[in-house]
Amino acid sequence: MASDSESLAALEILMNEFFAPQTSNDRKREIESLLHNFSSQQGAWKHCLYFMSNSSNHFVCMYSLTTIEKIITKQWLGLMWEDRAQLKATLYQLALEHHQTAPNFIRNKLVKLVVDIARLDWPHFYPDFFTNILQLIQNSETTVLGLVFLQTASEELVCPWEDLSVSRKEELRRLLLAHIPQVFSILTALLERVAQKQRHGVTATPPPSPTHGQPNSTSPVHSGSLLSSMFGSSRCSLENDSDSIASLTLQALAHLFSWSSPRDEGQCVGTLAMAAVNEIMYKNCVPSSCEEFLLNLFQQALHLLHNLLQSGHLDQIDETYLEKVTEFLRLFVGLHLRRLENNSRFPILEFLTLLFKYTFQQTNLEGYYNCLDVWTIFLEHLQTHKASIERYNDALVSLVGQILRKTQFKYNQAQLEELDDESLDDDKQTEWQNFLRQNIEVIAKVAELLPMDTYNQVYEPWKESVMVYMRLERALEENEDCRKLVVTAEHECLRLHCLLRDLSSLTQAVGRMYPHFIGEVLAARFSHSQKLMTQLTAMATYASRLQLHHIQVSAGVLTSDLVEVHAQVLAAMKAWCHWLAQMHSEAGLKHMYNQFIIDIVDATVPLLAKQGEPAKLYHSAAHLLASLTMTVRPARLWEVESVRDLYRKAASLSYLPSESQRLVKRALCCTLLLPCAGLADQGWDQRQKLLAALLESLTIDFRQLQHSSPVSPQAACPVITSTLTLLNDLVTGMQSEGSNTRQLLYSAIQVFYIFVFSFGISSSFYYVYYCCYDDDDDDDDEMNIYQTLSMFPTYVHSPSVCEVILDFFLTAFGGLQQQLGASFTETTVQTFLDVFTREHLSSSLGQEGGAGARVVDKFLQLLQLVMAEPGHQFKRFVPSTITLCLDHVYPLVAETPSPDIKPSLFALLHAILMHKWQYFYRSSLLQTMNQMGNETVEHREEFIKILQAYGQSLLQPDINIFGQNLRSLEQLNSKWKLYHKHLFGEELLSQFVTVLLHSLIHKSHALLEEEITVAIYHMAAVNFKAFQSDFLPQFLRSTEGLDDGQRSILQRNFKDDVDLPSFTQNVQRLVNDLRCYRLCNYSLPAGSIKL
């Protein structure tokens, strides 16, 4: 057998060859095999210790350490005592001897292996482990090594490793916590020495004592000298050795404070200092004894903020450092301001002044947005403490004023011109729109506290811009060919461009002010709101009359500016429609109200009726018209001449963008459907005739499908989609309205529910319409429905068309169930059930692109509504629905990881169990009491199959389905005592608990751990005694990877507590310790003695 020196030489050759660039992959695999065989042989770790002590080759050292790591983590408990002692002593000695010369990655690996040993042996078999660390830190020659040991110990000893039992984890945490005060004291002294060394390097004048005049001197971040030195070092100005010590110390502090992941070692000392302090700030529960410390901390933070702002060069400071400062401010305002707000020693107004300056000195948008978030948190704090608002009035007024300046080109053109106003982000907003929105939202937050002060600040600059805008007419020059703007000089065009951009921004802000002029304050602030609304309507009619966006301009950008102003004026009027709706009820204002209505109609309807206008104007005008009809609801709007003209051309609005066209059609329908406020005679008969005529014109293409020969799905789909989308919008929008509105809607669109089934029928559409509405011939009406349903439909094999049709019925069943009636609903559902055969379902689910699956999904959603209906007519669908689910759909998706329709399938099964429980358990309360626990279960096999499907879903990786079905089981138990049913307890209970426990053990659905544990508790609560004495022993016996002694310990540690918190702790201990035992057992060599 080769000697250690010969093996080392061979190993060095192999490692150098492996990492040589010319070595082939095949050769590398050969070398890997040789290295693996060597490390797997018994006693290989002894050779590795020799290699570590006698080689300077980094590859050899890492290979040796990796081999030793496997021994420590997998076989430590199986080693002889002498071997363990040798490994421990040698590794520690190697770390001491080579920490200054070895590369950091080797030093850190050595340290981790020593800590891994301590994780298993400290304190019983490694009593001096932590004492050694503290001694290393305090020795100037080994300070860096000691700090690396400390942070590694903090990371590894509190990490929830699976190879440790709960009791061992708790023991390690207690041991560490016991040393924390001493650790903080040592680290504080270390940082003080670093700070003092820095001061000596700056000035020869001896500084005052670090703790002079400062209480809480044992705190790691208490004194002015320490905070100023550490926080102020944002540019890494310390010497290299001091920088390394300070960085490692602060990293260790941050981890000790948080028990979270360590920070990046390459960060500046100031950044790490702020990170450490922020970890303190995250502690929300602060005892009163620490409030003095917090006060000192915040006072020093103010000093830091003041120094940062004094420099006037935030752009030269590291962005990460500034992010930490902003994070500190956010944490202070959100978690700790309430503790110090009324403390006379904390200058709250000075803090707000510094925050104000810090906010508006930010050099990038992200930093500015983060500061706005801090202000938002502060404003939300004031919302809950309104008694203290007066002292902050000046600060809030200044905040609004500065935000307005920042958003106006008049003051901030250079920065605002750089914002992108073309590319859309994930929220469909441009960079400019996002910037404006975030600023206006903060202004709106302030307005909730100081409504009139804020309004006046917004209104005054807006009014000035409006005055200039309304004088543009004077600058128009007209001739036979065109109209043009005589503003041609470059500097004048630029000024006008800036003014128009600011006007559109301020108009958006003005629109946001409406909530503070409605409700109880409507009358008190009416003069302001009436003046504003008058100006808005004047601007809208002015822009529509002059059509400023069509004039010829010398700078093309002015055209888009004029369009933007016009669009924002219409959008602001849309917002103020809420005020207009309330104004109707005020006495003596009818004339003014009517004038506003006329102005809005004049500003929108002619614009929408004309082709060739900008899409942005169409969009704003359509939204305003929709709000007028749905929110304000003026009386008999259809009698206005321009509105009548719009009704006449409703079917020919194809020039409008699709969204605008949809809004206009909805607005025209809502005018007829929605009742007018304060009107005695709503004229429902007239409305019905007008609505029928309107829908007839809007759906002419749709109705022509019935008269023609079958149209291809590609040609029919756009027609069907646009028509049914409009009807869906109407049904959805009218769901919360009164019975008259819903009845009117139903009477107008009832024919479409029948017609959807009758594509390809040669009989007259109008005959169908007559049959459906002939009140004197109900039999003929019902017969016609059955005739048309029996001929369902040409497009059943077209997923895109079928999806729209099903969505149409789904909306109807949700919003017009009462009007549709049980008979029609019953017939419709039966027709769908007849169509969706197993073959059709299989074909649909197999289609590419998911269109077929979406159709099936809609159908299952529709059945959910049917199952939730209480009427006896729908009970007969329960058997066929169960058959559809269990025999047709479920077999097709059961083994698929995450198909689209699984959520709807299980939601339907849940609806059956929740709403049709009597299908399985018919017994009345009296019968149940007389039977004394003897349950009669009808349709037993179907009931079991449903619950088995639930159980099968809990075995699959899809966490969404798992969570959905777990919550479903809990709801069924809450309402129907599912877990207490004899059938469930005898055949399913133990299976469900077993599955849920295994999901916890394997961490397959870790995000649902709490919900899983609660469900186990409720299942165990059926019979806690049986769970403890029968189920748990059986579960442990059937669990592999444990010996009998370990099973006995697990059983004994599971206490017989019956309250939820204690039971939860027992389950967590059981799961953790079971995982720990299995990991340890799998890592032991065969024949090892288990302790």
Residue 204 pLDDT? 41
Distance from the Cα of residue 585 to its chain's centroid: 41
The pLDDT tens digits for 63-91 are 889 988 888 888 887 788 888 888 889 99
Going by C-alpha positions, the residue among 1084, 1082, 1091, 1003 that lies closest to residue 1046 is: 1091
- Mean predicted lDDT score pLDDT of the chain: 83
Residue 796 pLDDT? 65
pLDDT average, residue stretch 567-596:
91
Dihedral sign for Cα 767, 772, 778, 780, please: positive
The two most distant CA atoms of the chain are separated, in Å, by 112
- Cα–Cα distance for residue pair 897/894, rounded to 1 Å: 8
Residue 897 banded pLDDT, cuts 50, 70, 90 = low
Exposed / middle / buried, residue 839 (Cβ in 10 Å: 0-12, 13-18, 19+): exposed
**Does 899 have pLDDT greater than 90?**
no
Q: For the whole model, what pTM was predicted?
A: 0.73
Residue 773 pLDDT? 39
Quick check: 14 and 35 in contact, CB under 8 A?
A: yes
Residue 716 pLDDT? 76
746's CB contacts (< 8 A; 6+ apart) are 816, 819, 820
Going by C-alpha positions, the residue among 174, 70, 47 that lies closest to residue 116 is: 70
- Cα–Cα distance for residue pair 261/874, rounded to 1 Å: 57
**Does 234 have pLDDT greater than 50?**
no
**Does 496 have pLDDT greater than 50?**
yes
**Does 352 have pLDDT greater than 90?**
yes
Residue type, 288: S
Looking at residue 392, what DSSP letter applies? G
Residue 235 pLDDT? 38
Residue 645 pLDDT? 94
The helix/strand/coil state of 420 is coil
- Cα–Cα distance for residue pair 196/473, rounded to 1 Å: 71
- Cα–Cα distance for residue pair 331/625, rounded to 1 Å: 45
Element (H, E) at 485: strand 483-485
Location of structure tokens 């104000």: 356
Residue 217 pLDDT? 34
Residue 944 banded pLDDT, cuts 50, 70, 90 = very high
Give the Cα-Cα-Cα angle 376, 378, 380 (nearest 5 degrees): 70
Residue 174 pLDDT? 86
**Does 181 have pLDDT greater than 80?**
no
Looking at residue 503, what DSSP letter applies? H
- Cα–Cα distance for residue pair 529/578, rounded to 1 Å: 12
Residue 766 pLDDT? 32
**Does 376 have pLDDT greater than 80?**
yes
Dihedral sign for Cα 586, 588, 589, 595, please: positive
CA distances in angstroms from 170 to 255, 701, 963, listed in the order given: 18, 74, 30
Q: Which string of DSSP letters, residue by residue, matches 697-756?
A: HHTHHHHHHHHSSPPPHHHHHHHHHHHHHHHHHHHHHHTTS-HHHHHHHHHHHHHHHHHG
Quick check: 273 and 233 in contact, CB under 8 A?
A: yes
* More confident call, 805 vs 958: 958
**Does 685 have pLDDT greater than 70?**
yes
Residue 831 pLDDT? 77
Distance from the Cα of residue 687 to its chain's centroid: 44
**Does 776 have pLDDT greater than 50?**
no
Give the Cα-Cα-Cα angle 171, 175, 177 (nearest 5 degrees): 115
* More confident call, 192 vs 719: 719
Locate all alpha helices (DSSP H) within 774-901, ordered by sequence.
778-790, 799-815, 817-820, 822-835, 838-845, 851-868, 877-883, 890-893
Least confident of 44-58, 182-196, 690-704: 182-196
- Cα–Cα distance for residue pair 819/747, rounded to 1 Å: 9
Residue 1028 pLDDT? 93
For the record, the structure tokens of 301 come out as 């933070």
**Does 1006 have pLDDT greater than 80?**
yes
The helix/strand/coil state of 236 is coil
Exposed / middle / buried, residue 952 (Cβ in 10 Å: 0-12, 13-18, 19+): middle
Going by C-alpha positions, the residue among 48, 51, 129 that lies closest to residue 88 is: 129
Least confident of 244-253, 398-407, 1032-1041: 244-253
Quick check: 279 and 257 in contact, CB under 8 A?
A: yes
136's CB contacts (< 8 A; 6+ apart) are 142, 143, 145, 146, 149
Location of structure tokens 């449903």: 946
**Does 678 have pLDDT greater than 90?**
no
pLDDT average, residue stretch 118-126:
88
Torsion of CA 693, 699, 702, 706, to 10 degrees: 0
What are the phi and psi torsion angles at 163 (to 5°)? -90, 15
Give the Cα-Cα-Cα angle 329, 334, 340 (nearest 5 degrees): 85
- Cα–Cα distance for residue pair 823/1078, rounded to 1 Å: 61
* More confident call, 895 vs 423: 423
Least confident of 554-558, 586-590, 655-659, 1072-1076: 586-590
**Does 517 have pLDDT greater than 90?**
yes
Torsion of CA 325, 329, 335, 338, to 10 degrees: 150
**Does 203 have pLDDT greater than 80?**
no
Location of structure tokens 């095999």: 33
Going by C-alpha positions, the residue among 770, 800, 802, 796 that lies closest to residue 784 is: 770
Considering just the CA atoms, what is the radius of gyration of the chain in Å? 38
pLDDT average, residue stretch 283-289:
73
pLDDT average, residue stretch 1010-1039:
95
Residue 386 pLDDT? 67
- Cα–Cα distance for residue pair 545/397, rounded to 1 Å: 38
**Does 473 have pLDDT greater than 70?**
yes
Quick check: 910 and 860 in contact, CB under 8 A?
A: no
Quick check: 371 and 365 in contact, CB under 8 A?
A: no
Looking at residue 666, what DSSP letter applies? H
Residue 271 banded pLDDT, cuts 50, 70, 90 = confident
Classify strands 483-485 and 476-478 as parallel, antiparallel or unpaired.
antiparallel
pLDDT average, residue stretch 478-497:
87
Residue 98 pLDDT? 86
Residue 367 pLDDT? 94
The pLDDT tens digits for 638-651 are 999 999 999 999 99
Length of the chain in residues, anyone? Answer: 1091
Tell me whether the omega of the peptide bond preceding residue 123 falls within 30 degrees of 0, making it cis: yes
The pLDDT tens digits for 693-750 are 999 899 888 877 766 666 676 777 888 888 888 888 888 888 888 888 988 988 888 7
**Does 286 have pLDDT greater than 80?**
no
Residue 750 pLDDT? 78
End-to-end CA distance of the chain: 35
Torsion of CA 935, 941, 946, 947, to 10 degrees: 50
Residue 257 pLDDT? 58
- Cα–Cα distance for residue pair 157/115, rounded to 1 Å: 8
352-385 burial: b if 16+ Cβ within 10 Å, else e: bbbbbebbebbeeeebbebbbbbbbbbbeebeee
**Does 213 have pLDDT greater than 60?**
no
Quick check: 249 and 191 in contact, CB under 8 A?
A: yes
Dihedral sign for Cα 771, 772, 778, 783, please: positive
